[in-house]
Structure 1
Amino acid sequence: MSEADVLRVIVTLVFILMVILAGAWAVRRSGLGRSGGGNQTLRLLASHSLGNRAWVAIVEVEDARLVLGVTSQQINLLHTLPPGATETDPTTGPSSPSPGFTAALARALKRR
């Protein structure tokens, strides 16, 4: 085997490895490899960053929507919303948060 043949084999192996990695990345980005398909009982509806490693997230679980405070150490339930449509109506725009939610969020942030 000559040096050109060895180089050709190495280049071919590197190319095959790159194709496999690109395919895995594409599958992950498209969501095709996720188990459960469209029948998921847990969905992330919205999230908002509050700073360094802290978020408020609205998660839909079966028949309830939960407002969660998420940090790198823990997850706290801030409020439970009734099941229903999302907070944004395409004709009227986003609805204002209820006073109960605002108060619960303020209490949760003051505990920190």
Structure 2
Amino acid sequence: MDQGQLVRIMLSLLLVVGLILAAAWVARRGGMLRQGGNKRRIHILDSQRLGTRASLALVRVDDREILIGITPQHISLLHSDATPAAGKDFDTHLDQARSSS
């Protein structure tokens, strides 16, 4: 095996490894390598900042929608809906939470 063949083999090997790494990067960026796929049970539907250190978040856990208040020291359940309506938006949930407390 002469030096020209050895260089050709090394370049071919580097090309194959580079293609494998590029394919893995594309698959990861495209979401194909995420564990569990789209079977995530928790989804943040919307959030609203109330100040510099406080916010509200509308979260869906399985088939429940919950409205939580978040501060640096505490997370509070403000409202829970076991049967989420498809067309409800964040403002509707916020109004419901305000009227129930």
What are the residue-to-residue correspondences of 1:1-112 with 2, within 5 Å?
Answer: 27=29, 34-84=34-84, 85-88=86-89, 96-97=92-93, 100-104=96-100, 107=101
User: Contact conserved, 2:67 with 2:93, CA < 8 A, in 1?
Assistant: no
Q: What TM-score do the two structures reach when normalised by structure 2?
A: 0.56
Amino acid at match of 2:74: Q
Identity of aligned residues (%): 30
Q: Secondary structure at the match of 2:37?
A: coil
Higher RCO structure (Cα 8 Å, ≥6 apart): 2
CA 1:103/1:95 → structure 2, altered by over 3 Å: closer, same or farther? closer
Question: As a proportion of its length, which structure holds more strand?
Answer: 1
Amino acid at match of 2:76: N
Q: How many residues are aligned here?
A: 78
Amino acid at match of 1:44: I
Once the two structures are superposed, what CA deviation does each residue of 1:66-107 show, in whole Å capped at 9, x if it has no partner? 00001122211001123231414xxxxx87458642234xx5
